[in-house]
A and B are shown apart, each in its own frame.
Chain A
Amino acid sequence: MIKVLTGNKAAANGVRLARPDVVAMYPITPQTPLAEELAHFHAEGQMDCEMVEVEGEHTAMSTIMGACVAGGRVFTATSSWGLAYMNEALMYCAGLRVPAVMVDVTRETPSMRGVGGGRQDIMSIRDSGWIQIEPETCQEILDSVLMAYRLAEDPDILLPVVVAYDGFYLSHLSERVDIPDQADVDRFLAPVKNSPRPNLVSGRNLHFSPSIDGQPFAEFRYKTLQAMERVKTKIEQIEGEFAAIFGRSYGGMVDTYRAEDAEIVILTAGSCAGTARVVIDQAREDGLKVGLARIRMFRPFPREKLCQVLDGKKMVAVIDRSICLGWNCGHLFMETKAVLSDMAKPPRMLDFIDGLANTDITSDHIEKALAVAAAALKGKETAETNWLIWD
Chain B
Amino acid sequence: MLNNTLVVRNTNCPPSCALCIEACGQRAGTVYGPVIEKIDLPEVDYHRILTCNQCSQADCLAVCPTGALSRSAAGTVVLDDSRCVGCSICNLVCPYGGIYHKNGEAKSQKCDHCGDEPKCSQACPNNILDYKKASVVTELMQEDALSPGLPYCAGCAMELLDRQTLRIVGKDIVLFGAPSCNVLSSKVKVPYYGTLMTNVASSATGVSRYFRKIKKDTICLAIIGDGATADLGFGQVSAAAERGERILYICYDNEAYMNTGIQRSSTTPFGSWTNTTQVGSRGRGRQGTPKNVPLLMAFHNIEYVATATLAYPEDYARKLLKAKEAVKRGMAYIHVLTPCPTGWKFETEHAVEVTKAAVETNYFPLWEAENGVIRFTHEVKNPAPIQEFTGLMKRFAHLSTEEIAQLQEYVDQSYAQIKRVVSCG
Binds A, one of B186-194, B281-289, B328-336, B355-363: B186-194
**Bound: A52/B190 CA distance, A:** 26
The residue on A at minimum CB distance from B209 is: A50
| Docked complex: A9-63 residues within 8 A CB-CB of B | 21-22, 24, 49-50, 52-56, 58-59, 62-63
**Bound: A206/B188 CA distance, A:** 10
Query: Cβ of A52: which chain B residues have Cβ within 8 Å of it?
Result: 205-206, 209, 243
The residue on A at minimum CB distance from B204 is: A66
A55 touches B206 (CB 8 A): no
A82 at the interface (CB under 8 A from B): no
| Contact digits for B268-311, partner A, Cβ 8 Å, 1 yes 0 no | 00000000000000000000000000000000000000000000
A209 at the interface (CB under 8 A from B): yes
**Bound: A38/B206 CA distance, A:** 18
B203 touches A65 (CB 8 A): yes
B405 at the interface (CB under 8 A from A): no
A66 touches B202 (CB 8 A): yes
B209 touches A201 (CB 8 A): no
B209 touches A209 (CB 8 A): no
B378 at the interface (CB under 8 A from A): no
B214 at the interface (CB under 8 A from A): yes
Given contacts A62-B199, A207-B186, contact A67 B191 (CB under 8 A): no
A126 → chain B closest CB, angstroms: 21
Query: Cβ of B414: which chain A residues have Cβ within 8 Å of it?
Result: none
B194 touches A211 (CB 8 A): yes
A230 → chain B closest CB, angstroms: 26
| Docked complex: B176-225 residues within 8 A CB-CB of A | 179, 183, 185-186, 188-196, 198-199, 202-214, 216
A83 at the interface (CB under 8 A from B): no
**Bound: A21/B213 CA distance, A:** 7
B131 → chain A closest CB, angstroms: 38
Contact for B206 among A53, A66, A206, CB less than 8 A = A66
**Bound: A209/B174 CA distance, A:** 13
Query: Cβ of A64: which chain B residues have Cβ within 8 Å of it?
Result: 206
Query: Cβ of B212: which chain A residues have Cβ within 8 Å of it?
Result: 50
B153 at the interface (CB under 8 A from A): no
Contact for A59 among B193, B194, B205, B216, CB less than 8 A = B205
B245 → chain A closest CB, angstroms: 9
A54 touches B186 (CB 8 A): no
Query: Cβ of A50: which chain B residues have Cβ within 8 Å of it?
Result: 209-210, 212-213
A207 touches B185 (CB 8 A): yes
A190 at the interface (CB under 8 A from B): no
B202 touches A70 (CB 8 A): no
A: interface residue count bin: 35 or more
**Bound: A150/B195 CA distance, A:** 26
A209 touches B239 (CB 8 A): no
**Bound: A211/B195 CA distance, A:** 11
A22 touches B189 (CB 8 A): no
A71 at the interface (CB under 8 A from B): yes
B198 touches A88 (CB 8 A): yes
Residue with the highest number of chain B CB atoms closer than 10 Å, among A71, A72, A207: A207
Query: Cβ of A49: which chain B residues have Cβ within 8 Å of it?
Result: 213
B236 at the interface (CB under 8 A from A): yes
Residue with the highest number of chain A CB atoms closer than 10 Å, among B183, B196, B207, B242: B207
**Bound: A23/B214 CA distance, A:** 14
Query: Cβ of A209: which chain B residues have Cβ within 8 Å of it?
Result: 185, 193-195
B239 touches A59 (CB 8 A): yes
B196 touches A69 (CB 8 A): no
Given contacts A52-B209, A55-B239, A67-B210, contact A205 B191 (CB under 8 A): yes
Given contacts A67-B209, A68-B206, contact A207 B239 (CB under 8 A): no
| Docked complex: B31-76 residues within 8 A CB-CB of A | none
Query: Cβ of A92: which chain B residues have Cβ within 8 Å of it?
Result: 196, 199
Contact for A88 among B186, B189, B196, B216, CB less than 8 A = B196
B313 at the interface (CB under 8 A from A): no
Q: How many interface residues does B have (CB within 8 Å)?
A: 35
B155 at the interface (CB under 8 A from A): no
The residue on B at minimum CB distance from A63 is: B206
**Bound: A63/B193 CA distance, A:** 13
Query: Cβ of A247: which chain B residues have Cβ within 8 Å of it?
Result: none
Interface on chain A toward B: helix, strand, loop, or mixed SS? Answer: mixed
Contact for B243 among A53, A58, A71, A200, CB less than 8 A = A53
The residue on A at minimum CB distance from B242 is: A55
A67 touches B185 (CB 8 A): no
Query: Cβ of A205: which chain B residues have Cβ within 8 Å of it?
Result: 188-192
B174 touches A200 (CB 8 A): yes
The residue on B at minimum CB distance from A48 is: B213
B196 touches A59 (CB 8 A): no
A379 at the interface (CB under 8 A from B): no
A70 → chain B closest CB, angstroms: 4
**Bound: A71/B218 CA distance, A:** 14
A208 touches B199 (CB 8 A): no
**Bound: A72/B214 CA distance, A:** 9
B202 touches A72 (CB 8 A): no
Residue with the highest number of chain A CB atoms closer than 10 Å, among B183, B202, B236: B202
A74 → chain B closest CB, angstroms: 8
| Contact digits for B145-186, partner A, Cβ 8 Å, 1 yes 0 no | 000000000000000000000000000001000010001011
A89 at the interface (CB under 8 A from B): yes
Residue with the highest number of chain A CB atoms closer than 10 Å, among B183, B206, B242: B206
Query: Cβ of A55: which chain B residues have Cβ within 8 Å of it?
Result: 235-236, 239, 242
B211 touches A70 (CB 8 A): yes
B192 touches A22 (CB 8 A): no
A287 at the interface (CB under 8 A from B): no
Contact for B207 among A54, A69, A206, CB less than 8 A = A69
Query: Cβ of B192: which chain A residues have Cβ within 8 Å of it?
Result: 205-208, 210
A7 → chain B closest CB, angstroms: 27
Query: Cβ of B242: which chain A residues have Cβ within 8 Å of it?
Result: 55
Query: Cβ of B179: which chain A residues have Cβ within 8 Å of it?
Result: 211
B196 touches A66 (CB 8 A): no
B185 touches A211 (CB 8 A): yes
**Bound: A70/B195 CA distance, A:** 13
Given contacts A50-B213, A70-B211, contact A22 B194 (CB under 8 A): no
Contact for B239 among A54, A69, A210, CB less than 8 A = A54
The residue on A at minimum CB distance from B176 is: A66
Query: Cβ of B243: which chain A residues have Cβ within 8 Å of it?
Result: 52-53
Query: Cβ of A22: which chain B residues have Cβ within 8 Å of it?
Result: 206, 209-210, 213
Residue with the highest number of chain A CB atoms closer than 10 Å, among B179, B242, B243: B243
A201 touches B205 (CB 8 A): no
B214 touches A201 (CB 8 A): yes
**Bound: A89/B233 CA distance, A:** 13
Query: Cβ of A53: which chain B residues have Cβ within 8 Å of it?
Result: 243
**Bound: A204/B190 CA distance, A:** 8
The 9 closest A-B pairs by CB, nearest first: A66-B206, A62-B202, A62-B199, A67-B206, A209-B194, A210-B185, A55-B239, A66-B203, A72-B210
Extra 12 A-B pairs, beta carbons < 8 Å, given A56-B239, A62-B199? A54-B202, A58-B202, A59-B236, A59-B239, A63-B206, A66-B202, A67-B207, A68-B206, A69-B193, A89-B198, A207-B185, A207-B194
Some 5 contacts from A to B, beta carbons below 8 A apart, are A22-B213, A63-B203, A66-B206, A72-B210, A92-B199
